Amino acid sequence: MPRSKIAGIGKFIPANRVTNQDLTKYMDTSDEWIQERTGILERHYAHRTEETTTTMGVEAAKIAIERAGITPQDIDFIVFATLSPDYYFPGCGVLLQRAMQMKEVGALDVRNQCSGFLYAISVADQFIRSGMYKNILVVGSEKHSFGLDFSTRGRNISVIFGDGAGAVVLQPTEKENQGILSTHLHSDGASAEILAMYNPGTHANHWGAQNYADFDEAEIGEMFMSHTMIDNAQNFPFMDGQSVFKKAVVKFPEVIMEALQANGYQATDINLLIPHQANLRISQFVQQKLKLRDEQVYNNIQHYGNTTAASVPIALCEAWEKGKVKEGGLVCLAAFGSGFTWASALLKW
Ligand code: UT7
């Protein structure tokens, strides 16, 4: 059974750079607070009308496809991970297929937030291993800036997120010592509501989600999207940051060790760990716990913020462009986020 390898990788960062200082124009925050709590110095926001989650994904995909030495017509399956799709439905996968004038190939959207890219490459990896597809495009892209509360009310979330996209092309490899060795996926829905965007949705308050609007039960349409909801800012994400932080620092090391142990490796064997860029303090905690040296961990949240499904491919691409990912190197990708879902992938470059 062939393994899959990353044959090409690309990223797209929108031009509009937004510093912590810029955010103080809209909300009561400070460069000092943001840097100290998150490590973030700046992030980038997509152009309001000319860039979407899909168009950014397309730009990253063009680079990944070119670096793989193929054309968009060679792609035989698309997996697109995002929590900020252009439309509620259909997903971004088909919009990308259309924009890149690809053949009528399958397009699958993955909704696993921060671990979306890891879930997406795990799915793609199975299709390559089974022999079903030969050139799978996997994209992670987010346009958070369109769905954040930029008033002081939303500051605990809005300062963290940024926009951008990353993409890879997976292909089969017959080489003994190359490719994705394993992927490991997990979930625990017990805390689904502590990092979530409830509205618009069909929950009708069934789960007792916080921040829910006081609806007129007679107006069923109102329960999906209402003026009350907008007036009360209930159409924005909600996060209990401290609870997420506490779980993340346990699950990140756990899922990384699971990947290493499944393949007979130890933390000292890792050439590069690319953790999902949620918070620099989380990455530093994981590094400490696994006793990794600085050069074994790649972080770039300082410049892009948390780009959820795009963060791992953006960081992997940047590390590769800087020559930090070498042929034969042991690379570990790991993510944790909303759901909760968490995942890891171990690969030989
Ligand atoms: O990728 C998805 C997964 N997400 C994560 O992994 C996020 C994990 N959590 C975190 O990264 C951190 O919890 C945050 C960065 C979100 C928040 O940091 P924290 O140290 O946990 O702060 P906190 O929420 O406990 O808030 C501390 C104080 C509060 O004020 P009081 O109540 O102590 O007076 C907040 O109101 O900081 C205040 N605060 C802010 N102040 C200035 C919250 N956000 C801001 C802000 N600027 N942007």
Kindly report the protein residue whose alpha carbon is nearest to atom 28 of ligand 1. 156
Residue 142, both tokens:
């987010």
Any idea what the Cα angle at residue 155 is, between residues 153 and 157, rounded to 5°?
115
Architecture of domain 179-192+238-348: 3-Layer(aba) Sandwich (3.40)
Backbone angles phi, psi at 22, to 5 degrees: -60, -40
Top-confidence residue, 203 or 119: 119
User: Do 333 and 309 form a contact (C-beta atoms < 8 A)?
Assistant: no
Q: Residues 222-257: pLDDT tens digits?
A: 778 888 888 888 899 999 999 999 999 999 999 999
Q: Which pLDDT value is given to residue 205?
A: 78
Give me ligand 1 centre to Cα 300, in Å.
20
Give the count of alpha carbons within 13 A of 143, CB side only. 19
CA dist., res. 52 & res. 48, Å (int): 8
Domains 3-173 and 179-192+238-348 share a fold: yes
Q: Which pLDDT value is given to residue 226?
A: 80
Kindly report the protein residue whose alpha carbon is nearest to atom 10 of ligand 1. 241
Q: Residues 44-103: pLDDT tens digits?
A: 999 999 999 999 999 999 999 999 999 999 999 999 999 999 999 999 999 999 999 999
Q: Is pLDDT at 210 greater than 90 in this prediction?
A: no
Catalytic residue among 20, 135, 199, 306: 306
- Is 332 catalytic? The answer is no
Mean pLDDT calculated for residue range 103-125: 98
Q: What share of the chain is helix, strand, coil (3-state, %, to 5)?
A: 40, 25, 35
CATH of domain 3-173: 3.40.47.10
Pocket test for ligand 1, best of 22, 149, 156 (most atoms within 8 A of CB): 156
Q: Residues 18-32: pLDDT tens digits?
A: 999 999 999 999 999
Residue 145, both tokens:
């800036």
Domain parsing of the chain, residue ranges: 3-173, 179-192+238-348
CA dist., res. 129 & res. 289, Å (int): 33
Backbone angles phi, psi at 91, to 5 degrees: -75, 175
The whole-angstrom distance between residue 176's C-alpha and the CA centroid of its chain comes to 29
Mean pLDDT calculated for residue range 200-211: 77
Mean pLDDT calculated for residue range 329-333: 98
Residue 29, both tokens:
């925050």
Give residue 280's identity as a one-letter amino acid code. L
Q: Which pLDDT value is given to residue 214?
A: 59
> How many percent of the chain have pLDDT more than 70?
96
Q: How confident is the model at residue 213 (pLDDT cuts 50, 70, 90)?
A: low
- Is 276 catalytic? The answer is yes
Kindly report the protein residue whose alpha carbon is nearest to atom 24 of ligand 1. 241
> How many percent of the chain have pLDDT more than 90?
88
Q: Which pLDDT value is given to residue 208?
A: 75
Give the count of alpha carbons within 13 A of 236, CB side only. 20
Kindly report the protein residue whose alpha carbon is nearest to atom 2 of ligand 1. 337
Q: Is pLDDT at 217 greater than 70 in this prediction?
A: no
Ligand 1 in contact with 33 (CB < 6 A)? yes
Q: How many CB atoms sit inside 10 A of residue 113's CB?
A: 26
User: Do 143 and 13 form a contact (C-beta atoms < 8 A)?
Assistant: no
Give me ligand 1 centre to Cα 80, in Å.
30
Q: Model's pTM, two decimal places? A: 0.96
CA dist., res. 333 & res. 347, Å (int): 8
Give me ligand 1 centre to Cα 157, in Å.
8
CA dist., res. 300 & res. 279, Å (int): 10
Mean pLDDT calculated for residue range 255-264: 98
Catalytic residue among 114, 135, 184, 199: 114
Beta strands in 1-113 (DSSP E): 3-12, 16-19, 42-45, 77-81, 106-110
Mean pLDDT calculated for residue range 300-305: 98
